[in-house]
Amino acid sequence: MRTIRRLTVATTSLLTVAALAACSSGSGSGAQDAASTTPVSGGSATWAVAAEPSCFAPAFDDVLADRAITRNFVDSLVYQEQDGTFSPWLASQWQTSDDGATYTFSLRNDVKFSNGAVLDAAAVKANLDYTRDSAHGSSYAGLLGSVKSIKADGSTLTITLSQADSSLLSSLSSVALGIIDPASIKDGKDLCTPGKKLAGSGPFVLDSYTRGSQVVFKQNTDYAWAPQSLSHDGPAYLDEVTYKFIAEDSTRTGALQSGQVQAISGVPALSVAGLTRSDDITYTDGPASSSTFGLTVNGSSENAPWDNVELRKAFRDSFDLDTIVKAIYKGQKTRAWSWVGKDSAEFDTTLKGSWGNHVDAANTALDAAGWSTRDSEGFRTKDGQRLSLKVTYDADSVRDQRDTLIEAIQDAAKQNTGIEVDFTTPTWAALSADIAAGNWSVYPGSYGKVDYANSVIGTWAGYFYGASQWKPTEAVDLAQDAVTTTDADQYAKALDGIQQYLVNDQALFIPLVESTFQIAAGSALHGTGFDYSSGVPDSNYNVWLSK
């Protein structure tokens, strides 16, 4: 069990700004931020990323990796520091009532969207009201589930809660609740294919977007409201930032090595050794403080026979995850034990060694459940039906050889227990429509670190089971306890209970690997880092190019 816990999800990470540099596996000239030269303004930087964003509008930006791009033009009401505390951003200050049910924010009076519209309390209210209205279909509505009303009066925003919500500031600091011009909001999901009509207040302005190719941002020359803890104020250093969408790992890595791009994210494990041998490239692995990558299994009767917990446990224990992870990632990633990242203070260490690779017990459970015969291909059957588990992973989200990981589990499950894993990679549009209709079985993914408790409420009570009569009630109830309690011990107990329920007791989430993002950058690029709340690469506000 942990000895140091915080009440909110703003838990102190084991990796602070200084420690992030120590995470670098680079054997070259050292971490980028160790450069002794002074930042200079000007120049253009190009990134190569593994996937094109599924959506550019914060309310529908459901793919975690996309936040690294969205943050360039979207600011938030408050800023979450690397130590987990909160500081002013669009709001210059705020007050909380004694009962924790009312938050009063005073907004800066000098902020404008990139199209010239004023960012005032009414604009923030419009964004939050839009997201929390379930009719609009944002998967982040649950982050504002405790909100009773929002009032705007000039530069004053008052949020009244139905009950205390210890995670509200964490939610308001995230890209998911970032603020865009209310005029843009009217386009709703049409913003997923953006034009210049999508206006934020961030340090960069969306300049052009070519589907399947790239997105280009220009410097917001009027930007003057960065969080005070960042390394400078005023506009960003760079004049322009381009993100090229390059799905092929070797092509992305080659583009960095040849100097065609200055940085890449989604660095394949097999490429790390080669990259770090160069003095001209720095590699940094981000913190494992967000939720892990794993398999979310539908426990409702619509997913029969996998509504049987014994079958879910049998699948969970049908493969040797340690061996698979080591074989694929060559020591660059570690297997996960919980839905909570190992570097988070909320991680329940008692889960280590408590599940997985119990093949004999898995086979015994499957036999007892009546799946005791085999077909001509060696898969288990019952009454002529094959024991098959459909795993659908949207192609836009595949990174870090996660498809290879699932394929290895597919092979092991068949060989060890006769379970068929039917693995497909449809588009996000097709998969999200199936999830909304309740027509899903297993979804591979990770859910960031906006807030662990509210993530359960929004994800398991809302998003995944919005079309179902069934929900993982015990986990949702524990999450409600965590959100509303003012007692740190009760908060810790609730988070432990959620992890045990989802992973050990019900096998509704099968952790696979720690979810970290990586950055490899040329020696001329400085100032890159990671967003605390999600672990993704941060915006380019602090990034600069040496001359």
Tens-place pLDDT, residues 95-109: 999 988 999 999 999
Identify whether the C-beta of residue 312 lies closer than 8 Å to the C-beta of residue 297. Answer: yes
Q: What pLDDT is attached to residue 19?
A: 34
Q: How many CB atoms lie within 10 A of CB 28?
A: 16
Express each pLDDT in 506-527 by its tens digit.
999 999 999 888 999 999 999 9
Angle at 292 (CA atoms; ends 189, 312), nearest 5 degrees = 95
Q: Which amino acid is at 188?
A: G
Residue 529: name the closest of 24, 74, 135, 5 by CA.
24
Cβ neighbourhood burial of 247 (10 Å; 0-12, 13-18, 19+): middle
Residue 14 has pLDDT above 70, yes or no: no
Q: How is 238-272 classified by DSSP, letter by letter?
A: -SEEEEEE---HHHHHHHHHTTS-SEEES--HHHH
Would you place residue 2 in the very low, low, confident or very high pLDDT band (cuts 50, 70, 90)? very low
Q: What pTM value is reported for the model?
A: 0.76
Q: How is 174-231 classified by DSSP, letter by letter?
A: SGGG-BB-HHHHTTGGGGGS--TT--B-SSEEEEEEETTTEEEEEE-TT-----TTSS
Measured distance between the N- and C-terminal CA atoms of the chain, rounded to whole angstroms: 50
Express each pLDDT in 69-120 by its tens digit.
999 999 999 998 877 789 999 999 999 999 889 999 999 999 999 999 999 9
What is the distance, to the nearest Å, from the Cα of residue 243 to the centroid of all Cα atoms in its chain?
Answer: 19
Q: How is 93-150 classified by DSSP, letter by letter?
A: EEEE-TTS-EEEEEEPSS-B-TTS-B--HHHHHHHHHHHH-GGG--TTGGGGTTEEEE
Residue 28 has pLDDT above 60, yes or no: no
Of 170-184, 215-229, 439-453, minimum mean pLDDT range: 439-453
Residue 92: name the closest of 81, 103, 108, 111 by CA.
108
Express each pLDDT in 30-39 by its tens digit.
344 444 579 9
Q: How many CB atoms lie within 10 A of CB 38?
A: 7
> What is the phi/psi pair of residue 158, to 5°?
-115, 120
Express each pLDDT in 354-398 by its tens digit.
999 999 999 999 999 999 999 999 999 999 999 999 999 998 788
Q: In what order do the strands lie in the sheet with 156-161?
A: 91-96, 102-107, 156-161, 147-153
Q: How is 485-498 classified by DSSP, letter by letter?
A: ---HHHHHHHHHHH
* Distance (Å, whole) CA 255 – CA 149: 50
* Distance (Å, whole) CA 528 – CA 415: 44
Q: Which helix (DSSP H) or strand (DSSP E) does residue 19 occupy? A: helix 17-22
> What is the phi/psi pair of residue 170, to 5°?
-60, -45
Residue 486 has pLDDT above 80, yes or no: no
Backbone torsion region of residue 87, taken as left when φ is above 0, otherwise alpha when ψ lies between -120 and 50, otherwise beta: beta
Q: What pLDDT is attached to residue 22?
A: 35
> What is the phi/psi pair of residue 511, to 5°?
-65, 140
Residue 293 has pLDDT above 70, yes or no: yes
Torsion angle of alpha carbons 316, 321, 322, 328, nearest 10°?
-160
Residue 177 has pLDDT above 70, yes or no: yes
Q: What pLDDT is attached to residue 449?
A: 60
Q: How many CB atoms lie within 10 A of CB 286?
A: 24
Local structure of 454: helix, strand or coil: helix
Would you place residue 476 in the very low, low, confident or very high pLDDT band (cuts 50, 70, 90)? very high
